[in-house]
Structure 1
């Protein structure tokens, strides 16, 4: 099992994307086009002839040296492989991370088991997923009472679902209603690049909820990848929250995809009451951290 460090500029694009595409744990975050649009700087660890790949997203640390970090709009990365990802294989990859990265704080994907006795500080994260391979009526049997009440509010308000909003309009809505701390110009432009690329590939679609005067109350963009439909950037206005606009949007997605062999991925990393109300199941993954910096006082 040979693992080598490969700079971004030397990566074989076709082989990389093929590995992510056919990996037993592939997801949209691992494709080169997604990484290039969201992660400013990244290199990789590669096993053999691209049997397994591990993107290493880095930035210059505030004090000194390079550090591995988790960029916004990428929930998880880690190792992608056409092999079964055993703890020994994961350990080999983690041990192969170059010493040049003095600080590590990254999220491994859901099928990267953490080796026993790892040198990393490990924190369990929680995502939520809802299996849609059932009749819509059967899925809604798992809805909570508060969710049903919100959906009734939306119906009484005459809210309308549409898929006609353009990526820049969705990003503008995001910028207007998301907390300032979650915004940056890099995120604002990155999300638009992802949406346009997904539309170009036929891997995504916009969804929004309008009031009776055609004013948007909630927006989202959904990405298709590896048997999942992934919630990319859900946003709701205060007016929309009052009438259940965002639950109405997600319920429209459920109704549209019910009976298909796909999973609705809520794409979160912590407790999410709306996902729970929809009957989604927890799907754990892990954050790992390691600080190798040494401070010398004179």
Structure 2
């Protein structure tokens, strides 16, 4: 197990590992991490297993944190490795103790025994919602709850339409105008990150920005989705007051579901810890994926 500074990370080997790992994840790709944070890494052998270490410094303090737009990171390893043994080695090393605060989210596919953690570190369970799209669209749509069906019917009656767009600047502006204040203080780094992620994903033909308009052509809502390893990540959304009133984002989700129905896809709603948001995602008949968060304090 070796600590590797960011400048010395072999990005080609890193991404090759993610591709063949036990749980390939968009969040673990080197270019995605580069778009969201400064990070160093723990590397085992010749990139047989890795852990990204997103860090921030404040005066004399260094903290390990979970970057925005990176829901889960943690351990990534080859299928012939034993994750529990790797994590035990990591948590028993001096690395976690170098940080004044520590927060790391792991894949929902990993089980982390409490006994391998340092004494002061705690583990808690977070929620994410996902929807298996392997059924045909009529079957999936029938399982939406009644409120979601009413929203979609109302949107169609109002003549609302969706279309693909590349105008991430308009989406960010809508978010800043109608949602940012409700989310608390957001730094400009948040919006720089989403623009950077958008650019990288579109260059790789992995992303899609969907816009919902009303019958007069006014913009109501945006949803940004990225597909990786048959998983469709909902990374960013925005809506104005009219779009919120009749849940325009539901029409966007419905289109994504319809366009991928019957395939070997998972729609990852990328959230759900807040009860109201979780209930909304559940209205599409999505299921909860619980994933571990290790933190100190």
Q: TM-score, normalised by structure 2?
A: 0.92
Whole-Å Cα distance in 2 between the matches of residues 166 and 82 of structure 1?
38
Matching residue of 2:265: 262
Separation of aligned partners in 1, 2:185 and 2:89:
34
What is the CA–CA distance in structure 2 between the aligned matches of 1:97 and 1:258, rounded to whole Å?
47
Q: Which moved more, 1:87-96 or 1:220-229?
A: 87-96
Q: How far apart are 1:97 and its partner, in Å? A: 5.5
Determine the C-alpha separation between the residues in 1 that align with 2:94 and 2:24: 21
* Contact 2:272–2:281 (Cα < 8 Å) also in 1: no
The answer to whether the Cα contact below 8 Å between 1:68 and 1:106 also exists between their aligned partners in 2 is yes
Q: Determine helix, strand or coil for the equivalent of 2:63.
A: strand
* Cα separation, 1, equivalents of 2:171 and 2:267: 20
Alpha-carbon distance, 1:214 to partner: 1.1
Counting only pairs closer than 5 Å after superposition, residues 47-62 of structure 1 correspond to structure 2 as 47-61=44-58
5+ long unaligned stretches in structure 1: 292-298
2-structure distance, mates of 1:25, 1:152: 37
Q: What is the deviation of 1:146? A: 1.0
**For residues 1-298 of structure 1, what are the structure 2 equivalents within 5 Å?**
3-39=1-37, 41-61=38-58, 64-83=60-79, 85-96=82-93, 98=95, 99-117=97-115, 118-119=117-118, 120-180=121-181, 181=184, 183-270=186-273, 271=275, 272-291=278-297
Give yes or no for contact 1:247–1:274 (8 Å, CA) kept in 2.
no
> Structure 2: which 5+ runs fail to align?
none
Write the distance in 1 (CA, Å) between the matches of 2:110 and 2:242.
41
Structure 1 stretches of 4+ moved >6 Å = none
Counterparts in 2 of 1:85 and 1:97: CA distance versus 1, 3 Å: farther
Over aligned residues, Cα RMSD in angstroms? 1.6
C-alpha contact (below 8 Å) 1:153/1:244 kept by paired residues: no
**What TM-score do you get using the length of structure 1 for normalisation?**
0.92
Contact kept, 8 Å, 2:212 with 2:221, in 1: the verdict is yes
Provide the C-alpha distance between the structure 1 equivalents of 2:91 and 2:58, rounded to a whole number of angstroms: 20
Greater displacement, 119-128 / 276-285: 119-128
- The number of residues matched between the two structures is 287
Work out the CA distance in 2 between the residues paired with 1:61 and 1:269. 30
User: 1:73 offset after TM fit, Å?
Assistant: 1.3
